[in-house]
């Protein structure tokens, strides 16, 4: 038997091996990320060459990816506009309004909904939602057509960027409301009770105690939702009828497409430099989501230091 | 001027119920009068009734109870309706998938592939096999890497390197699934030429998405193991690696298995990376190291996007595939919940 001091100085062989293996796993993760970036850059470079002849993008890579970046940001922003208030409402409902007993069951149902595959949302969006909403679009255009974003002519299929925004919102709703609920549940109980004891109504208590505490958590939930919506592929690819146009019109059949859906639609038939152009577009998407996600993480870290690690 | 502050004036429950009933009644009459072309929709009448109820109860509350309580009632109504409103598309989604999916949810669907099938008939057996093989391989790659990384982070991780690993896991969590597919394609095309499509490439792509989920959940579970257990074991002279294998991991095993099952449920429905890296085919392919394979999510997408003659047969198969996917995901999630309940540490530990 070795004495305890000995073990700390010279670890046993089993310890050394196990430690080495688990560090190795960490190294694998680091190298996977480096590899992802390296392979994508390597495969993207030929398309970035200005003299390259790319069939699908005769005017160079920037004019190909520019409208797609616009479409990606536009559809994700629409989704966020719809999903943020609803997810805050759902989070508050589960954390502060619903009876205790059904609240946890509801939370569980929402977790289940977050696991539904995106291709199912896409199928639902095009088969059920788009035909259902098309008459509403017609009505909106007829009555509010003087507002530029609602200008006609209305798409006959309902497969517009607005539909995509709504479907994306429905998709990110479960994850965003789950995060919002978590944040609301962490409100210090004493703050809530103090507010109620001073005679505040339930909403005033939420205004004074819950929302200020949750602000940064909600912001990072919104950022994570945005990250999901930016990278979402199949629902957009199935629902949207794309035209690679840069327009803010919500209801016409001329819609801006997104990076992810363009890759999914074009990749199976692409060959030669087109493949490289699509991979380069994927790299741009990767960069955008990384910026959004690191922004979300920065908010969380700042919050932690402010709260003193809880 | 009537000041109600300080006086205990509230709307009685009877008043609120009366207002609710009259809201519903007004809604019903409006619907009955304006009933031109459409059918009666009970849900629509209920929704309109709730709006009318809100329009009645808020002024009443303002008048009787004052501004603050009226605002409180308004916000309560808004929170409840946000929840109800969000429920509509989700209920509609589940309902359509179940009703439309059942049309082809039969033995033939799970007993045959799409080889030489035009129009009706055929099935998704090739897709089910492809999904099982690719997901299994992705799990075989991700679980050891993910588990060991979380062991490193919890048991050994100190200093700059562990911070790096944590950050990189965060970054990996945010990789869009299609980018993971492009990565796998780019990597395999370097070795096998530009047109490469094979099952293992899809498994690599799914692993990129699955590893961070496994690391996250296992890390959380390992941190829940009380330090006293580790200290007791080390004090008895058990080496650290045996302490981890025999004490820490068995204590957390329920949570670890739950996390892994949820991670599998996450990636089993991924479509985009498999479309890029594995492609699609109508025939059975058991070999994940050569040629294209079909997977369930891609089957759903493909059935919808390239409808042949007798389009309805293709759409029916798409819905049946969607139903199968949802059933798989639900079973995995429920299983995870059962596992975490069975392995929950019981008192006196």
- The pLDDT tens digits of the residues spanning B85-127 come to 888 888 888 888 998 888 878 877 777 777 777 777 777 888 8
CB contact under 8 A, B304 and A263: no
User: Which of the four pLDDT bands, split at 50, 70 and 90, describes residue B235?
Assistant: very high
Q: B128 to chain A, minimum CA–CA distance in Å?
A: 15
Whole-angstrom Cα distance, residue A242 to residue A239? Answer: 9
Q: A243 to chain B, minimum CA–CA distance in Å?
A: 17
User: Best interface-test mutation with B: which of A43, A99, A111, A233 has the largest number of B CBs within 10 A?
Assistant: A233
User: Best interface-test mutation with B: which of A19, A36, A132 has the largest number of B CBs within 10 A?
Assistant: A36
Closest by CA to B277, choosing from A69, A28, A275, A122, is A275
As to burial, measured by CB atoms within 10 angstroms (0-12 exposed, 13-18 middle, 19+ buried), residue B116 is: exposed
Closest by CA to A89, choosing from B88, B76, B72, is B76
> How large is the average pLDDT for residues B63-80?
83
Give exposure, A278-309, as e/b (b: 16+ Cβ within 10 Å): bbbbbbbbbebbbebbeebbebbeebeeeeee
Q: Which three-class secondary structure state does DSSP give residue A255? A: strand
B259's tokens = 């996390």
CB contact under 8 A, A115 and B305: no
CB contact under 8 A, B182 and A278: yes
pLDDT at A7: 47
Q: A237 to chain B, minimum CA–CA distance in Å?
A: 10
Whole-angstrom Cα distance, residue A230 to residue A225? Answer: 9
Q: A53 to chain B, minimum CA–CA distance in Å?
A: 18
Q: Which three-class secondary structure state does DSSP give residue B3? A: coil
Q: B101 to chain A, minimum CA–CA distance in Å?
A: 11
Whole-angstrom Cα distance, residue B327 to residue B71? Answer: 43
Whole-angstrom Cα distance, residue A35 to residue B208? Answer: 11
Closest by CA to B81, choosing from A180, A176, A86, A98, is A86
Whole-angstrom Cα distance, residue B132 to residue B115? Answer: 19
User: Best interface-test mutation with A: which of B182, B263, B302 has the largest number of A CBs within 10 A?
Assistant: B182
Contact B170, B191 (CB under 8 A): no
Residue B121 neighbours by CB under 8 Å, 6+ apart: B108, B112, B313
Contact A228, A171 (CB under 8 A): yes
Whole-angstrom Cα distance, residue B248 to residue B241? Answer: 10
Using CA atoms, how far residue B208 sits from A206, B145, B168, B203, B325, in Å, is 40, 11, 12, 9, 21
For A156-192, what is each residue's pLDDT tens digit? 777 888 889 999 999 999 889 988 888 888 888 888 8
Q: Is the pLDDT of residue B348 over 90?
A: no
- Of A15, A23, A286, which is closest to B176 when you measure between CB atoms? A286
CB contact under 8 A, B179 and A17: no
Whole-angstrom Cα distance, residue B272 to residue B100? Answer: 24
Contacts of B179 in chain A (CB under 8 A): 36, 40, 231, 282-283, 285-286, 289
Whole-angstrom Cα distance, residue B64 to residue B322? Answer: 53
Tell how far CA B140 is from the center of its chain: 21
- Of A111, A124, A227, which is closest to B174 when you measure between CB atoms? A227
CB contact under 8 A, A112 and B269: no
Strand partners, A242: A255
| Total count of residues recorded for chain A | 310
Q: Is the pLDDT of residue B206 over 90?
A: yes
Q: Could you give the percent of chain B with pLDDT greater than 90?
A: 11
A167's tokens = 């479907």
Rounded to the nearest integer, the mean pLDDT of chain B is 83
Q: Taking CA atoms, what residue in B is nearest to A120? A: B322
Cα dihedral A172, A178, A181, A185 in deg (nearest 10): -150
Kindly report which listed range (A184-188, B12-16, B160-164) carries the lowest average pLDDT score: B12-16
Whole-angstrom Cα distance, residue B301 to residue B272? Answer: 10
Contacts of A205 in chain B (CB under 8 A): none
Of A151-155, B38-42, B158-162, highest mean pLDDT = B158-162
A279's tokens = 């991979």
For chain A, which residues score pLDDT lower than 70? 1-11, 50-59, 304-310
Closest by CA to A257, choosing from A166, A159, A167, A169, is A159
Contacts of B329 in chain A (CB under 8 A): 115-117
Strand partners, A255: A242
Contact A243, A253 (CB under 8 A): yes
Contacts of B271 in chain A (CB under 8 A): 117-119, 233-234, 264
Whole-angstrom Cα distance, residue B76 to residue B59? Answer: 15
Q: Taking CA atoms, what residue in A is nearest to B241? A: A15
Instruction: Count residue pairs from A and B with Cβ separation < 8 A.
Output: 258
> How large is the average pLDDT for residues B5-10?
58
Backbone angles phi, psi at A257, to 5 degrees: -95, 170
Contacts of A42 in chain B (CB under 8 A): 186
pLDDT at A82: 92
CB contact under 8 A, A231 and B177: yes
Q: Could you give the percent of chain B with pLDDT greater than 70?
A: 93
- Of B93, B171, B245, which is closest to A290 when you measure between CB atoms? B171
CA angle B256, B344, B239 (to 5 degrees): 60
Q: A215 to chain B, minimum CA–CA distance in Å?
A: 17
């Amino acid at each position: 038997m070795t004495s305890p001091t000995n073990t700390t100085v010279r670890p046993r062989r089993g310890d050394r091996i196990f430690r080495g293996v688990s560090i190795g796993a960490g190294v694998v993760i680091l190298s996977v990320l480096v590899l992802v970036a390296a392979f994508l850059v390597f495969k993207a470079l030929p398309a970035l060459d200005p003299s390259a002849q790319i069939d699908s993008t005769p005017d160079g890579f920037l004019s190909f990816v520019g409208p797609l970046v616009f479409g990606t940001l536009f559809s994700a922003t629409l989704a966020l506009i719809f999903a943020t208030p609803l997810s805050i409402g759902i989070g508050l409902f589960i954390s502060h309004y619903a009876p205790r007993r059904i609240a946890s069951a509801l939370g569980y149902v929402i977790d289940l909904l977050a696991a539904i595959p995106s291709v199912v949302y896409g199928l639902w969006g095009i088969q059920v939602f788009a035909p259902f909403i098309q008459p509403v679009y017609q009505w909106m255009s007829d009555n509010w057509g003087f507002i530029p974003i609602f200008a006609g002519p209305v798409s006959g299929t309902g497969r517009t960027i607005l539909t995509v925004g709504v479907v994306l919102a429905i998709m990110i709703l479960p994850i965003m409301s789950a995060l919002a609920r978590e944040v609301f549940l962490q409100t210090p109980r004493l703050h809530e009770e103090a507010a109620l004891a001073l005679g505040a109504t339930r909403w005033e208590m939420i205004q004074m105690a819950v929302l200020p505490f949750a602000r940064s958590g909600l912001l990072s939930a919104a950022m994570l939702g945005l990250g999901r919506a930016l990278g979402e592929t199949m629902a957009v690819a199935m629902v949207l009828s794309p035209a690679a146009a840069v327009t803010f019109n919500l209801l016409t059949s001329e819609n801006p497409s997104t990076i992810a859906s363009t890759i999914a639609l074009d990749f199976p038939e692409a060959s030669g430099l087109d493949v490289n152009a699509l991979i380069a577009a994927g790299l741009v998407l990767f960069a955008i989501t990384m910026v959004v996600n690191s922004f979300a993480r920065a908010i969380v870290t700042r919050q932690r230091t402010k709260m003193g690690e809880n | 001027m009537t000041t109600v502050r300080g006086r205990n004036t509230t709307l009685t429950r009877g008043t609120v119920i009366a207002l609710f009933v009259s809201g519903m009644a007004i809604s019903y009459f409006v619907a009955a009068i304006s009933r031109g072309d459409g059918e009666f929709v009970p849900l629509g009448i209920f929704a309109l009734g709730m709006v009318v109820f809100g329009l009645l109860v808020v002024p009443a509350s303002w008048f009787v109870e004052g501004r603050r309580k009226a605002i409180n009632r308004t916000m309560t109504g808004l929170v409840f309706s946000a929840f109800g409103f969000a429920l509509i598309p989700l209920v509609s989604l589940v309902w359509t998938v179940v009703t439309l999916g059942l049309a082809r949810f039969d033995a033939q669907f799970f007993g045959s592939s799409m080889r030489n099938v035009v129009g009706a008939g055929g099935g998704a057996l090739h897709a089910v096999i492809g999904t099982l093989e690719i997901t299994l391989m992705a799990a075989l790659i991700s679980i050891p890497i993910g588990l060991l990384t979380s062991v490193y982070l919890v048991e050994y991780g100190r200093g700059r390197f562990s911070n790096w690993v944590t950050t990189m896991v965060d970054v990996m969590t945010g990789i869009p699934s299609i980018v993971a597919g492009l990565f796998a394609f780019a990597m395999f095309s370097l070795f096998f030429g530009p047109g490469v499509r094979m099952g293992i490439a899809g498994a690599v792509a799914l692993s990129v998405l699955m590893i961070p989920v496994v690391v996250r959940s296992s890390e959380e579970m390992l941190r829940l193991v009380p330090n006293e257990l580790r200290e007791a074991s080390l004090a008895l002279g058990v080496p650290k690696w045996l302490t981890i294998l025999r004490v820490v991991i068995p204590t957390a095993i329920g949570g670890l298995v739950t996390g892994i099952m949820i991670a599998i449920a996450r990636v089993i429905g991924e479509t985009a990376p498999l479309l890029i890296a594995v492609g699609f085919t109508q025939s059975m392919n058991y070999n994940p190291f050569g040629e294209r394979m079909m997977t369930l999510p891609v089957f759903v997408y493909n059935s919808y996007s390239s409808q042949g003659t007798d389009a309805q047969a293709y759409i029916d198969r798409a819905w049946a595939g969607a139903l199968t996917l949802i059933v798989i995901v639900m079973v995995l999630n429920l299983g995870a919940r059962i596992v975490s309940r069975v392995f929950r540490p019981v008192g006196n530990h």
